[in-house]
Each structure stands twice: as C-alpha cells, then as structure tokens.
Chains A and B, each alone.
Chain A
C-alpha cells in the first residue's frame, strides 16, 4: 500500500521535543551547506577553483538580480544574507528531497496488529513546520529591516494610523496583508513540494521504470523555481517595505 502522510512522521524524542524525518534531512542539508561554505574559504585564490568559483558565481548572480530590483549595490549587500540564505537553503533541501533514499528508506513499526511504514528521510519542505518557520523568519526580518531603514515612527504609522478613518482602515489592511504574506509563503512552498512528492510516489507506483523520468525533471525544475520565487518575493517585499516615502510626504 502507498504510504502518503500529510504530517512528517516522528522518529524519536529528545526530552519532549519530537524529531521528525524532515527535521533530520534539514539538519543534513544544513551540515552540507556549512561544510561547503567552510571549504570555499579554505584558500582564497585570486584565480578560484571549483567550490570557491561556484560560490562566487552564485553570489554574483544573486547580487546582480537584487541590483535590478533595489537599484543600489549598497542595499543589495545589506539584504543579501536574507535573500541568499532563503534561496540556497530551500534549493538544496528541495533537491535533496529528490534523492532515491528519501521517502523509501524506512522502518516498519508494529503497533499491536497493524504495521506502519515510517520513512527515515523526507523532503524538509514537505513539512508545513519547515515552510512556516522560514516564512515567519522572512516576514519578521522584513519588518525589522523596514524598522531600521525607515525609523520606528514611519514604520508603525504604516499599520496604526489614527489621522483619519480611511488611513485607519488602510493600516488594518496592511496588518492583514502581513498575515497573508506568511500564509502564502508557507503554503506555496509546502503545496508545491508535497504535491511533487505525492506525484512521484503515485507515478512510481503505477509504472516504476522509465516513466518517472520526466516527472523527476519536473520536480528538479519546480524545486529550483520555488526556491527562486521564495527568495524573489522576500526581496520584493523588502524593497517595498524599505522605500523612503520622502517624495510622497512633500506632495501633501
């Protein structure tokens, strides 16, 4: 029988904190990324080789993309950590979730009369906790960036504006829009990756040989696009939130 579970399965507990299989994979991805980052700065060469080369290329591309949105190199470098971390972390965790051992290697746990198959590894983004966590971090960080860029008074008056009733309602709408950002960020990534997982399981169940290939290519592509879209949306929201309204205030 096909094993598809909306929740990430718990493997064991540390104290009262459950360790799920997606948490395990997220940990593995983090260790991989840290190892890559450390090895990229092993010897700084003027003519870089492989890992340092790839890292520099990735960062240059992300910086030039941010330049086209923010139009200032200084700003791009200030907001690069958030955008690049989201992109690289989500990308690697999506692609890691496509490896053959993920979802298939597992334990058959026997509860009384029924056996339950518990996979040891699961794509991190197929767990709503992971996507919700990144979405919360992104939206809170965007607000903190706006707080530092605009100053607390300008930022708070965006949400709580008591000058006239219309502005008050606009402030309420802004608050709702922040909540909507969190929901849409988390569900977009979760839906895409979880649906891709279900698709691969079903296709593999129907025709195990050759036919899953185009679907695996689709999942590789979707994994990249979702990481890109998450990072781009975070970038665009940062750009919108930190724009100085000096021109507007002069018009009134």
Chain B
C-alpha cells in the first residue's frame, strides 16, 4: 500500500473509532441527567449546568480524534 492510501485509511479509522466512546459517554450523561431532573425538577438548573459541562468534556475527546484525523488528511 502506498503512503497516500495509508493516510486515507488512517484518517478514516481515527475519527470512526475515536467517536464511538464519546458518543456512548454523552448518551449516558444525558440519560443520567434526565433521570435526575425527573426525580427532582426543582434542581433542574444545577443539573443542567453540570450536564452541559460534562458533555463538553466528553465531546472534547471526540474533537481530539477529529483534529488528529484532519492533521493526517491535510498536513
């Protein structure tokens, strides 16, 4: 395999595999947050803030994978 097709496969594999775990993580965070709000609707703003923060951290991992894939593809 020449280097160009290896780069193509590498870029594809990086983002495809790297997005699995963050997707699952964000789903779990959202579901737990919904449970918590359902149990205690009064605390909704606090739970929402914590949820958005946690989703940002989890999504950052997906973004790291994306940045590596972009670097492989374009540099």
State whether the Cβ of B52 lies closer than 8 Å to any Cβ in chain A.
Answer: yes
**Distance between A83 CB and nearest chain B CB, rounded to angstroms:** 14
Give the nearest-CB partner of A69 in chain B.
B49
A229 touches B56 (CB 8 A): yes
State whether the Cβ of B39 lies closer than 8 Å to any Cβ in chain A.
Answer: no
Question: For window 23-64 of chain B, which residues contact chain A by CB distance below 8 Å?
Answer: 45-46, 49, 52-53, 56-57, 59-60, 63-64
Contacting residues, chain B, for A228 (C-beta < 8 A): 52
Taken together as a complex, chains A and B put the C-alpha atoms of A181 and B63 apart, in Å, by 15
Taken together as a complex, chains A and B put the C-alpha atoms of A195 and B70 apart, in Å, by 8
State whether the Cβ of B20 lies closer than 8 Å to any Cβ in chain A.
Answer: no
- Interface size, chain B (Cβ < 8 Å): 17
B interface footprint on A16-29 (CB within 8 Å = 1, 0 otherwise): 00000000000000
A191 touches B49 (CB 8 A): no
Contacting residues, chain A, for B49 (C-beta < 8 A): 65, 68-69, 232
Contacting residues, chain B, for A194 (C-beta < 8 A): 67, 70
Q: B-side interface residues toward A, CB under 8 Å?
A: 45-46, 49, 52-53, 56-57, 59-60, 63-64, 66-67, 70-71, 74-75
22 contacts between A and B (CB under 8 A): A5-B74, A6-B70, A7-B75, A65-B49, A68-B46, A187-B63, A187-B64, A187-B67, A188-B56, A188-B59, A190-B67, A191-B60, A191-B63, A191-B64, A191-B67, A192-B63, A195-B70, A229-B52, A232-B52, A232-B53, A232-B56, A233-B53
